[in-house]
């Protein structure tokens, strides 16, 4: 005999919508939610209720139910994580059949008020489906399931009220995969009749939000930061000594086949952060061993900035976010997302203040309270997208794509405008980078007209022009040496050019070792306490290493350094290298000059003959005129 089910217990279908993987970058996705449809495959309409007469509503079908919105800005995350339980008031056994298909649609809306579920005004992101009873007869219930998401199909001219739009896409069978998945679970909930009588209304939803504040740990290599910081290192450059041009390759790094978009030494010089595509690799210095790989961005990384404590850094990306990372000694990394409405090109990180620049031309200031970053100020003063930010103590400078530079003062964690700097020769020219001179009285400006300029901040006059590089199309990197005496800049042709900062004379360049045929981005940085330079290029279709060079009296490995200056000047800049002038050298120089004169003699004879022809022509012309 079959055991009868107790009347005090009622089985209900519980659908838990957990989360998705990373969604495609889309400015319209701000607070996505999931709509759940239950469809009868025999009629391809909404599933009918078990007892139509028992309900007070005219609708005889099980209505779709929508989860709560997951607000990216509020949660400071860009990966939706609902963890919401939806309970349907129909009997579990009535819904879970072989003819049932459950559809999930991820949607969003514009404005402050969301439209009704049954209208076609939603921004449809992706959709998925699952059969509670598979074709093999096995139930897909009682466990977490990962289902594939698909791209939305075309909109219909006629909207059927008893049939969701997804049904037409599913019936066609032409499914295009969306590059993400949805995590859900179908469970049997047991409820009492008392609870059922209290909640016997249409669209009954029991929402139990499990707001999980997860710490996203990065993928860590077995090396520890503690060993890096404890080692006693003696740097080659003494305090106050001028920086020298590195001439010998010491190591090549290959963090990614794409090369690098940006790289930055920490303030103590013990760590090197390299942005390779969507990831950030942290290396120890001077061992150059991989310590950590920070994973969290979904787009290219534009900028890296270290904090003064050397354990916190911020990265900006094309995935509409800036990420704040906290490196710990136990191979873990705390990770917080600062959401933005568009591409984040630049940032500055100083103690408990972060300033970010975005494509929407708005400068944002974030402050840290209780280890959480909060947006405190938004300033809309720039006319173009903000490309670079420079900071020295309370002085902050920001630049944009229209050639405008704004001078700010940071007071009590608030930005106040000091002045707007407009240079006529760079008006409407994209500024790639601005870098403050270590003394704080000059500003290096890199623009997309292949010229770097040094500005006097007191008079806002341009006092030096650095020519010789190529930068017209893409973002490239530049850096001032810590002593302020040398300027290094990457070109779109793969060269790294070197100038003297106070005279604007081009001293040398590092050759293009990648044989680049098209314009590419480059990155360069100089070590704060040693004669070390690191540079690389971003090449998506070609493997490109990162080169690290150091100054050595006896050059060991050629780094591709080529000088463009006289020997006397080279000796002052490059180091103590003996250039002996002997009598034999003078004799060779005299012979070289003599051979040059011998080469010129035939050319002089040709010019004399041409002069004779011209003179004879003029005399003949005068004779004809007299006649």
Q: Model confidence over 400-457: pLDDT tens digits?
A: 999 999 999 999 999 999 999 999 999 999 999 999 999 889 999 999 999 999 999 9
Task: Please compute, for residue 170, the number of CA atoms within 13 A of its CA located in the half-sphere on the CB side.
Answer: 23
Q: How confident is the model at residue 52 (pLDDT cuts 50, 70, 90)?
A: low
Contact 293, 279 (CB under 8 A): yes
Q: Which two tokens stand for residue 269?
A: 């010089």
Q: Which two tokens stand for residue 394?
A: 């309370």
Lowest mean pLDDT among 17-21, 456-460, 542-546: 542-546
Q: In angstroms, rounded to a whole number, what is the distance separating the alpha carbons of residues 292 and 384?
A: 36
Length of the chain: 627
Check pLDDT > 80 for residue 568.
no
Check pLDDT > 50 for residue 255.
yes
DSSP H/E element including 592 = helix 583-626
Tell me, what DSSP letter sits at residue 548? E
Question: Look-up: residue for tokens 């004169």?
Answer: 597
Q: In angstroms, rounded to a whole number, what is the distance separating the alpha carbons of residues 620 and 605?
A: 23
Q: How confident is the model at residue 214 (pLDDT cuts 50, 70, 90)?
A: very low
Q: In angstroms, rounded to a whole number, what is the distance separating the alpha carbons of residues 73 and 58?
A: 39
Q: How confident is the model at residue 157 (pLDDT cuts 50, 70, 90)?
A: low
Q: In angstroms, rounded to a whole number, what is the distance separating the alpha carbons of residues 582 and 347?
A: 56
CA–CA–CA angle 512, 543, 311 (5° rounding): 95
Query: Residue 478: helix, strand or coil by DSSP?
Result: strand
Q: What is the pLDDT of residue 601?
A: 55
Mean pLDDT to the nearest integer, 291-296: 90
How many CB atoms are closer than 10 A to CB 619? Answer: 8
Q: What is the pLDDT of residue 207?
A: 37
- Which of these, 495, 444, 443, lies nearest to 469 by C-alpha position? 495
Q: In this predicted model, which residue has the larger pLDDT, 610 or 272?
A: 272
Check pLDDT > 60 for residue 290.
yes
Q: How confident is the model at residue 63 (pLDDT cuts 50, 70, 90)?
A: confident
Q: How confident is the model at residue 592 (pLDDT cuts 50, 70, 90)?
A: very low
Q: In angstroms, rounded to a whole number, what is the distance separating the alpha carbons of residues 332 and 351?
A: 21
Q: In this predicted model, which residue has the larger pLDDT, 44 or 519?
A: 44
Cis peptide leading into residue 286 (ω within 30°):
yes
- Which of these, 327, 299, 324, lies nearest to 314 by C-alpha position? 324
Contact 489, 481 (CB under 8 A): no
Question: Look-up: residue for tokens 């998506």?
Answer: 540
Lowest mean pLDDT among 230-239, 382-391, 404-413, 525-534: 230-239
Contact 253, 545 (CB under 8 A): yes
Q: What is the pLDDT of residue 509?
A: 93
Residue 226 has phi, psi (to 5 degrees) of -65, -40
Tell me, what DSSP letter sits at residue 558? B
Q: How confident is the model at residue 483 (pLDDT cuts 50, 70, 90)?
A: very high
Q: What is the pLDDT of residue 531?
A: 95
Contact 424, 461 (CB under 8 A): no
Q: How confident is the model at residue 318 (pLDDT cuts 50, 70, 90)?
A: very high
**Most confident residue range from 232-246, 323-337, 392-406:** 392-406
**Most confident residue range from 1-15, 110-124, 178-192, 580-594:** 178-192
Contact 272, 566 (CB under 8 A): no
How many CB atoms are closer than 10 A to CB 155? Answer: 10
Q: Which two tokens stand for residue 458?
A: 């007191």
- Which of these, 413, 341, 410, 415, lies nearest to 373 by C-alpha position? 413
Q: How confident is the model at residue 116 (pLDDT cuts 50, 70, 90)?
A: confident
Q: What is the pLDDT of residue 201?
A: 39
Residue 610 has phi, psi (to 5 degrees) of -65, -40
Question: Look-up: residue for tokens 């994580």?
Answer: 81
Q: What is the pLDDT of residue 521?
A: 87
Burial classification of residue 286, based on how many CB atoms lie within 10 Å of its CB (0-12 exposed, 13-18 middle, 19 or more buried) = buried
Check pLDDT > 90 for residue 189.
no
Query: Residue 99: helix, strand or coil by DSSP?
Result: coil
Q: How confident is the model at residue 239 (pLDDT cuts 50, 70, 90)?
A: confident
Q: How confident is the model at residue 500 (pLDDT cuts 50, 70, 90)?
A: very high
- Which of these, 209, 141, 149, 152, lies nearest to 182 by C-alpha position? 149
Q: In angstroms, rounded to a whole number, what is the distance separating the alpha carbons of residues 183 and 17?
A: 7
Contact 444, 435 (CB under 8 A): yes
Q: In this predicted model, which residue has the larger pLDDT, 115 or 502?
A: 502
Check pLDDT > 50 for residue 150.
yes
Q: What is the pLDDT of residue 616?
A: 64
The DSSP secondary structure of 401-445, one letter per residue, reads: TTSEEEEEEEETTEEEEEEEEE-GGGTTS-EEEEEE-TTSSEEEE
Q: In this predicted model, which residue has the larger pLDDT, 11 or 264?
A: 264
Q: In this predicted model, which residue has the larger pLDDT, 14 or 158?
A: 14
Sign of CA dihedral 336, 341, 345, 348: negative
Q: What is the pLDDT of residue 208?
A: 34
Mean pLDDT to the nearest integer, 29-54: 84
Q: How confident is the model at residue 88 (pLDDT cuts 50, 70, 90)?
A: confident
Task: Please compute, for residue 380, the number of CA atoms within 13 A of its CA located in the half-sphere on the CB side.
Answer: 2
Percent of the chain whose predicted confidence (pLDDT) is above 70:
77
Check pLDDT > 70 for residue 623.
no
Q: In angstroms, rounded to a whole number, what is the distance separating the alpha carbons of residues 282 and 270?
A: 10
Contact 229, 270 (CB under 8 A): yes
Contact 484, 507 (CB under 8 A): no
Mean pLDDT to the nearest integer, 498-503: 94
Q: What is the pLDDT of residue 463?
A: 95
Check pLDDT > 70 for residue 603.
no
Q: What is the pLDDT of residue 527?
A: 96
Tell me, what DSSP letter sits at residue 6? P
Tell me what the pLDDT averaged over the chain comes to: 81
pTM above 0.85, yes or no: no
Q: In angstroms, rounded to a whole number, what is the distance separating the alpha carbons of residues 90 and 52?
A: 11
Q: How far is CA 478 from CA 26, 319, 425, 435, in A?
A: 31, 24, 20, 8
């Amino acid at each position: 005999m079959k055991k009868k089910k107790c009347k005090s217990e009622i089985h209900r279908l519980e659908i838990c919508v957990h989360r998705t993987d990373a969604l495609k970058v889309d400015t319209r996705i701000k607070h996505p939610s999931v709509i759940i449809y239950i469809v009868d495959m025999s009629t391809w309409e909404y599933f009918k209720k078990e007892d139509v007469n028992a309900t007070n509503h005219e609708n005889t079908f099980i209505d779709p139910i929508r989860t709560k919105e997951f607000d990216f800005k509020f949660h400071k995350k860009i990966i939706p994580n609902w963890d919401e339980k939806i309970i349907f008031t129909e009997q579990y056994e009535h819904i879970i059949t072989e003819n049932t298909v459950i559809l999930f649609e991820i949607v969003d809306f514009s404005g402050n008020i969301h439209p009704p579920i049954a209208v076609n005004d939603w921004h449809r992101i992706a959709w998925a489906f699952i059969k509670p009873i598979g074709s093999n007869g096995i139930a897909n219930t009682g466990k977490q399931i990962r289902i594939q998401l698909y791209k939305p199909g075309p909109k219909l001219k006629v909207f059927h009220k008893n049939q969701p739009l997804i049904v037409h896409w599913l019936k066609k069978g032409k499914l295009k995969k969306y590059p993400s998945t949805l995590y859900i679970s179908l469970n049997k909930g047991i409820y009492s009749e008392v609870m059922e009588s209290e909640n016997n209304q249409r669209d009954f939803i029991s929402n139990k939000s499990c707001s999980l504040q997860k710490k996203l740990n990065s993928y860590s290599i077995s090396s520890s930061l503690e060993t890096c910081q404890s080692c006693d290192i003696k740097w080659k450059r003494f305090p106050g000594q001028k920086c020298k041009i590195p001439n010998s390759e010491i190591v090549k790094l290959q963090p990614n086949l794409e090369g690098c978009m940006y790289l930055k030494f920490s303030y103590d010089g013990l760590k090197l952060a390299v942005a390779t595509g969507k990831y950030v690799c942290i290396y120890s210095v001077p061992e150059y061993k991989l310590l950590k790989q920070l994973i969290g961005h979904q787009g290219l990384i534009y900028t890296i900035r270290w904090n003064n404590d050397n354990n916190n850094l911020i990265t900006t990306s094309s995935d509409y976010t800036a990420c704040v990372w906290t490196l710990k000694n136990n191979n873990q990394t705390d990770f917080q997302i600062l959401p933005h409405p568009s591409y984040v090109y630049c940032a500055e990180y100083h103690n408990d203040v972060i300033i970010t620049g975005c494509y929407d031309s708005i400068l944002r200031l974030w402050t840290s309270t209780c280890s959480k970053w909060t947006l405190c100020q938004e300033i809309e003063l720039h006319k173009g997208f903000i490309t670079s930010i420079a900071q020295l103590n309370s002085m902050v400078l920001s630049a944009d794509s229209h050639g405008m530079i704004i001078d700010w003062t940071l007071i009590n964690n608030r930005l106040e405008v000091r002045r707007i700097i407009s240079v006529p020769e760079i008006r409407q020219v994209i500024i790639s980078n601005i870098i403050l001179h270590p003394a704080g009285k000059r500003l290096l400006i890199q623009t997309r007209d292949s010229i770097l300029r040094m500005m006097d901040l007191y008079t806002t006059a341009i006092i030096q022009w650095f020519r010789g590089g190529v930068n017209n199309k893409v973002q490239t990197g530049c850096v001032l040496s810590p002593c302020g005496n040398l300027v290094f800049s990457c070109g779109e042709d793969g060269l790294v050019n070197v100038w003297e900062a106070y005279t604007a004379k081009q001293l040398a360049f590092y050759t293009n070792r990648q044989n680049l045929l098209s314009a590419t981005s480059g990155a360069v940085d100089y070590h704060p306490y040693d004669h070390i330079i690191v540079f690389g290029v971003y090449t998506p279709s070609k493997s490109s290493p990162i080169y690290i060079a150091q100054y050595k009296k006896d050059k060991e490995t050629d780094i591709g350094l080529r000088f463009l200056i006289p020997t006397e000047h080279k000796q002052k800049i490059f180091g103590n290298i003996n250039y002996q002038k002997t009598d034999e050298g003078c004799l060779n120089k005299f012979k070289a000059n003599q051979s040059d004169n011998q080469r010129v003699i035939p050319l002089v004879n040709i010019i004399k003959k041409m002069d004779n022809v011209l003179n004879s022509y003029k005399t003949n012309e005068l004779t004809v005129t007299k006649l």
